[in-house]
Amino acid sequence: MAQILSGLWLSEWSDDSLNANNINDTNLRYIFGALVNSLRNSAVNSTSNVETNIVSVERCLEYTETPTEAELYNEVTKLSPDWPERGEIKFSEYSTRYREGLDLVLKKITLEVRPKEKVGIVGRTGAGKSSLTLALFRLIEPVDGSIFIDNPLVIRTSSALSLRQLSQSIVPSDDGLTYFIICLRPDSLIGSYYHISSFRLDEKFIETYVTYGLYDVTKLLLFEKSMLYFEAKQSIGPLETQHVYSVNVSAPNGAVKCLSCHYNTDCPYFEAHFSPTADYYALQCLGPDVPKVYLIKSVQQNNPFELIVNEELVDKLHRKLLLRHQIFTVISQKKKIYIKLLYPHEFDDEVVDKYSLIIEANNPENGVLNDKYRIDWAHYLVSKHQYIYGWVVADSEDVRHNRVKQNFHFIAEDIDKYQIAVNYIKEHKRFINGHKMCIWGNNIGAFATISALASSDILRCAVLVSPVINWRLMDAVTYEHMFNTGQTYDDFAIRFDGFNLMNKINRLLGKHILLIHGSADEIVPIQHSMQFIRQLVSEYSKCGDIAEPLLQTQIYPDEDNTLLSVRHHIYQRILLFFDQTFIHIMHKTHDIKST
């Protein structure tokens, strides 16, 4: 409006000014009109900034109005170190809700669990089974009533931390005095592996390791009659295998027995589900062939009954052309990595620069190379669109022997592996076009993705799904896990800044990026993506017309970290990005060669 008024004002006076030959007055009016326009723009910008920044004020106000939790430590009502001794639990007229204003999820619950008694909670969806457990660990606060554990009034008087520490008990023994957990067992000879440790409550929490060896215990299944059943993974070269084991914890130096090793020797990956008394268990063979399920009686290990064999799926796959893969071992700069490539049908390695490559970046703490049966989006891209799909995994030896001391060092090592991988592929796999390599990942994998893109001159595009951009925005649990514990937040500021992508944003100019995020993401808040977009756009603005802006975004309102309801659209959007990006890269490469 100010621009229109100033224009009318100038047009009204311009003729008289020229007729009167008063050039100075005319110039003054033009300058005044331009000043009005400038003030208008400043007012609009100021209003926009206020609207943007007021969100922070609203957030601070919301935090001040949030009810505080119970203190972590309550010295006045501190419980005895021996508590709980018997394990008796009583609910007395207990009621609770998830937050103020909502309906009660538990109403006047009264029950008693005697010491050493095993109790199962059953009910339909929404009956309050999970809420009862959350109430016991004080993850939700009571509205009315009380909970007693070994007689002391716990829910009203104890600190929150003392209750939540109880949730670390994974599998209890029959007498209720011993519980078993999975923890890291350091060893100077074989390195650090995750093993089973037992604690006795009547011995001041003395830790005793139950297992030992070159494998990682991944899951505790059941404890019954002195037998502890568990699953464990072992790395054989680049591949992970998983089997089901048992150990007699009452026997001195109890030997670990593999329950699945002699079933179907072609299957290296098993999972198990036991009956409550361990009389029977369902043993699942998960690959590399079509999964099968065996029903086994514990006392008759040699007579498995094939419960599910998936014959229909097997018949269909026999009529299909299955994709093949290849695994390479690369050693560079004293680092060993493994590269797995999935090839399309009628793969031809004689044609130079024929195929495009998609690399999936995984969470650095999770291995992805195993023989589990899978037909997923990677297989669709390879079979339908003739891409080559790849995974990269670093060897775990440095982690085992503590040469990589902490998780953030592990991430740094993990980022380097992609640089090594793409350099090797470009040099030795000539059938892959070195200009058409793209990497993608989600959450922490997306952090590795964008870090690899910033550090590599070969990678030209990336897809970031719910990316971790600034570690300072992550929750306290993730912060302590990745950057060690027991030290103040500022002690790790330097390390944080070393992993802050804002310091590397200028290296992303001219590279194709697709950013995907859900606005209701509670694990990786959308502020990560907003900071990234703002900083990258700012860098592009500094370059003027020199750098072509190549950032694309896809925001999904009210979607959480799983993005479950929009998964189909996400895959379509990523596929379109790949196709358009590779076409753009090839056209640009052709133009450069022509000039």
Here the tokens at position 359 are 């690399």
In a domain, 201, yes or no: yes
Same domain, 221 and 293: yes
With 60 as the cut, is the pLDDT of residue 246 above it? yes
In a domain, 51, yes or no: no
Same domain, 215 and 293: yes
Same domain, 508 and 575: yes
Same domain, 286 and 181: yes
Which own/partner contact pairs does 501-505 have at CB distance under 8 Å and 24+ positions apart? 501/447, 501/450, 501/451, 501/454, 501/469, 501/470, 501/532, 502/469, 502/470, 502/531, 502/532, 502/535, 504/451, 504/454, 504/455, 505/454, 505/532, 505/535, 505/536, 505/539
User: For the residues 420-442, what does the mean pLDDT come to?
Assistant: 94
Q: Which domain holds residue 201?
A: 171-311
For residue 484, the model assigns a pLDDT of: 53
In the three-class reduction of DSSP (H, G, I as helix; E, B as strand; rest coil), residue 176 is classed as: coil
Sort 218 into a burial class: Cβ within 10 Å, 0-12 / 13-18 / 19+. middle
For residue 145, the model assigns a pLDDT of: 82
CATH number at residue 301: 2.130.10.10
With 90 as the cut, is the pLDDT of residue 533 above it? yes
- Indicate the range of 214-218, 244-248, 350-354, 470-474 predicted with least confidence: 470-474
For residue 87, the model assigns a pLDDT of: 76
Same domain, 192 and 161: no
In contact, 358 and 379? CB cutoff 8 Å: no
User: For the residues 6-35, what does the mean pLDDT come to?
Assistant: 60
CATH number at residue 116: 3.40.50.300
CATH number at residue 376: 3.40.50.1820
For residue 274, the model assigns a pLDDT of: 92
Same domain, 391 and 509: yes
With 80 as the cut, is the pLDDT of residue 167 above it? no
With 60 as the cut, is the pLDDT of residue 142 above it? yes
Total domain count, the chain:
4
Same domain, 206 and 253: yes
With 90 as the cut, is the pLDDT of residue 465 above it? yes
In a domain, 414, yes or no: yes
| Residue among 120, 158, 122 nearest 137 (CA) | 158
**DSSP one-letter string for 87-149:** --EEEEEEEE-SSTTSPPSEEEEEEEE-TT-------STTSSHHHHHHHHTTSS-EEEEEEEE
pLDDT tens for 183-206 read 878 777 787 788 888 877 766 656
Q: Read off the pTM.
A: 0.68
In a domain, 449, yes or no: yes
- Indicate the range of 248-257, 280-289, 336-345, 561-570 predicted with least confidence: 248-257
In a domain, 60, yes or no: no
Q: Which amino acid is at 331?
A: I
Same domain, 122 and 217: no
Task: Evaluate the CA torsion angle 346, 349, 355, 359 in order and state its sign.
Answer: positive
- Indicate the range of 46-60, 164-178, 346-360, 398-412 predicted with least confidence: 398-412
Domain boundary among 291, 311, 331: 311
Same domain, 537 and 569: yes
With 80 as the cut, is the pLDDT of residue 576 above it? yes
Domain boundary among 168, 203, 231: 168
In a domain, 303, yes or no: yes
Same domain, 274 and 412: no
In a domain, 66, yes or no: no
Same domain, 477 and 497: yes
Same domain, 403 and 469: yes
- Indicate the range of 178-187, 264-273, 361-370, 408-417 predicted with least confidence: 408-417
In contact, 342 and 322? CB cutoff 8 Å: no
For residue 476, the model assigns a pLDDT of: 65
In a domain, 97, yes or no: yes
